[in-house]
Amino acid sequence: MGDPTIDADVGLGTAYERLAVYALLDRWFADAGLRSALEGPVDGMAGMPGLHLIGLARQGTNVTVALPDTRALEIVRRTYRWLGIEERLTTLCTADPLEIPGQFDLVLTYNALPLVEDWRSYLTRLTALAARSLLVSVTNPFSYGVKLRRMQRTLEPRRTPELFDHPSTRDAELRPTLDRLGTIEESAFVDCPWWPDLFVPTGQTLWQGTLGRLPGLGALVRNRLAARARPGRFTYAPERFPLFPGQPGHDELTKALARHPVFDQRGAWLGAAFGHHRAHRMRVSAPKAPA
């Protein structure tokens, strides 16, 4: 919660991740007649938080974004304003689902479970806010990128827990909790490009983050890399958000992505191998007591 506010998306991979999430939400909910939706209050996106539902907002859904940081919420408001849909946005500054009033047709939690103190309790609280559907996104711990990252860590002097280490990313831990809260209607691997997810520090490209971790590279070399780093062509901010047709830079982004093979909706085997995330769409019910 005390991390610096992320005020820009960095890299083509982050842009593709957003587009993959928007496509999944369209596929699952575009025809569902959603009047209201909530995301947050904790967001594990490696980029600007609170922008996962903006595609549904463009289609008419009223969106509430809850985040614990006022600067992050201002970035959300600026992005909605830039796209001309600020009237469909409500923001709340909180990190606790218990402080969010009302219910919503859809509640979305994105890669947040490893970041909260008690992930099962957090999910239960979010489910109470969902009148119809809950979408839970977690890191896919079985992708080839995770395997590469595990090998990388054997060369590092300090090993800190990462998202894929968390028990909530494993079906054997997550599904019993989800089954208690409702019915899983569909699951999908999402964000499945050819490049691996190596969990580089937020704000760095895959190349920068990987170089910075190499043993023996040294702080001096890393500092020189940082000093020479300039905002890349695929760095996006609230007033430069070309994820949708008609926005400046959208055609350039589309052409750049067209040069890369991607594997979303290409079957479970490819999804498991390349997918950076797994998403579960649930129909919520009154929570059952744990067995």
The overall longest dimension of the chain from CA atoms, in Å, is: 56
Least confident of 68-82, 96-110, 207-221: 207-221
Helices 12-29 & 250-258 angle (0-180, nearest 10): 90
CA distances 98 to 27, 70, 102, Å, are 30, 18, 10
Q: What percent of the chain has pLDDT over 70?
A: 84
**pLDDT for residue 151:** 83
Average pLDDT over residues 111-132: 96
| Confidence class for position 204, pLDDT limits 50, 70, 90 | very low
pLDDT higher than threshold 50 for residue 33: yes
pLDDT higher than threshold 60 for residue 247: yes
| Confidence class for position 155, pLDDT limits 50, 70, 90 | confident
pLDDT higher than threshold 60 for residue 162: yes
Which has the closest alpha carbon to 186: 282, 108, 52, 270? 282
| Confidence class for position 274, pLDDT limits 50, 70, 90 | very high
In the structure encoding, which two tokens stand for residue 38, read together? 């909530």
CA distances 191 to 15, 42, 113, 137, 163, Å, are 10, 20, 18, 11, 16
91 backbone dihedrals φ, ψ, rounded to 5°:
-120, 145
Average pLDDT over residues 186-215: 67
pTM value surpassing 0.75: yes
pLDDT higher than threshold 70 for residue 86: yes
Average pLDDT over residues 211-227: 51
Residue 174 three-state SS? helix
Contacts made by residues 126-130, CB under 8 angstroms, sequence distance 24+: 126/97, 127/181, 127/182, 127/284, 127/287, 128/97, 129/38, 129/97, 129/100, 129/102, 129/103, 129/104, 130/103, 130/104, 130/105, 130/106, 130/284
Residue count of the chain:
291
How far apart, in whole angstroms, are the C-alpha atoms of residue 203 and residue 10?
Answer: 6
How far apart, in whole angstroms, are the C-alpha atoms of residue 183 and residue 280?
Answer: 10
List beta partners, residue 109: 136
**pLDDT for residue 286:** 60
Average pLDDT over residues 202-226: 49
Average pLDDT over residues 104-124: 96
pLDDT higher than threshold 60 for residue 209: no
Sheet holding 62-67, edge to edge: 89-93, 62-67, 36-43, 104-110, 130-139, 277-284, 182-190
Average pLDDT over residues 22-38: 96
Residue 256 is given by DSSP the state: H
Summary mean pLDDT of the chain = 87
| Confidence class for position 147, pLDDT limits 50, 70, 90 | confident
Least confident of 164-178, 182-196, 223-237, 270-284: 223-237
